[in-house]
Structure 1
């Protein structure tokens, strides 16, 4: 397999004692049904992707209890059963409903977390998670209950580190939780997983400053903006009846003049460094002082190989700033 010439580096996860691969493997498509009812990634291909990632030196695997209705964790666990689990860093997430018609089968209440952590570990075939993320914030659960419950998982040896995965930045929530943890001798959040890429820039400013203040490792998801930054879409796709199965909301959010201006700069830099647009978009995040490890997803081994080769793409400071300036102003203002 050609991927054996990549050899991903390890980086320190924030201010923790944990080292992780510089690019993580996201598994949200494992077992997922598309809008047309087709299985996006079945078990055999999931294992092929895990094999390819491992061959490239990758050891940081990210999943969630709801991915594929639990199949993602199950398939990762089956794959790991033939390997030394200690060589891998496993991260999973909890929040979304796992039992229909049960108000306690969702969210971040103590009952749901304590029940689900054991199910998650069983599916993964392991005694512990390296990182447990809250998948979203739960307004119905008090911060004190959440942090005491999560600290109990660390004390019990079921979880090593705590993280917060977000769709919209919530700097004040993380700060509130970590300040409470410091006051009461609890485990704080040490990892953040926000959406961040060259066109989705909402975390810049307060959120990234908060992560820096508390020493959080930042592991962004959607580095390619749901495919926008791969270069596969054109301005003409905005007026087409269908864009590779994308709905109108997606087109309105991503196929904008502003975003295409960013893509134009991505393509220009890609030509300069002999890389693909996808590789440049990922390399920009990896060049960012605040980013620890980007979360990569792929439907095929070929797509995964392309994305992983972003680790070898070197951007100059000037190229980094040009990309940043294509949307949202100069990097100095970030």
Structure 2
């Protein structure tokens, strides 16, 4: 009954719903719940070591044999800039002193590792059905090795130019990520956030520009959004923020409270937490030094200097220095188990897609 089954047939899933891989917000439990409900569960690997990936993937395979997606960042490693990092540390110094910390202590390293030979070797061993990437694609030799496993390859595009580039590079499907989406922007052929566009403007343009199936992402959290995406040519949707209020999500309690406030809390693109534009709920640190801070070191180095502030404040329930990743659709989210949510979203969307339009009466009114 879905108007376009290309993603379902390609990936071997029952429902055209992909759980967004959100680093730090979900692991095996969330992926399994979505897989068993008929969608495509995703395991985010940006914060995992190869050993942790092996363990989490093993848990998934013990609990389901359905297709699963593993996701990696593929950003170029940044060149350290001592002067910029010192300016960033100085910018944060008042917060260190407020929390009784020494502002001169060295910032701990960030652990967001890009896809590399070690991860690729593990993919060759574990052979997941789907491998997705953020920030473009890895180098050609690694991508060819992933393709040789038979995995379907997905990646995010935030512009039509990026979508065409991904298709030419061999992606089997493209995720059209609108500016409404929570978390990191997948942009990789531009750094201009001012020209990033919304999902329902980007989606049909990407559909028209490429031959492969397109997955809509950003601001979709209920059946109305899913139905609208299909009407604009999507073959599936990728949903993130709606899954953050599920019990399977691994976010901290202050993050849950902020999400539950829905439209009472604004979101904005910010670089203060990692050095790369990402959408989150506005909190103290975003208000006071951002949301876009010119002094922030490049991704992912900015997060190191924030780590001591988070460690000192979060045990007391503070959200002041915590990234509260969220898309613009938080006000549409419902707290329910992930499997039930997946089915509910699909049922809502199908009801919209199969609803017959009302016929106008003689006076021109619908009936």
Q: TM-score by structure 1 length?
A: 0.49
Bigger radius of gyration, 1 or 2? 2
Q: TM-score by structure 2 length?
A: 0.46
